[in-house]
Amino acid sequence: MGLGAPADIDEQRRTITQLEQRNVDLASRLEEREVELEAARAANRELTRALNQRG
């Protein structure tokens, strides 16, 4: 720790790039899960409606 530039700027840039890519990947996976969750909720609503109409 000091006032000068970090000893290995290239390594830090590679780490930043890897972390940014990981963030993009995780955001994409989260979006997919949200779509799947909404589909499951819609199916659940339909099943609940069908059961309620039977009774």
Q: Which pLDDT tens digit goes with each residue over 12-40?
A: 999 999 999 999 999 999 999 999 999 99
For the entire predicted model, the pTM comes to: 0.71
The residue ranking higher by pLDDT, 4 or 38, is 38
Q: What is the SS3 assignment for 1-55?
A: CCCCCCCCHHHHHHHHHHHHHHHHHHHHHHHHHHHHHHHHHHHHHHHHHHHHHHC
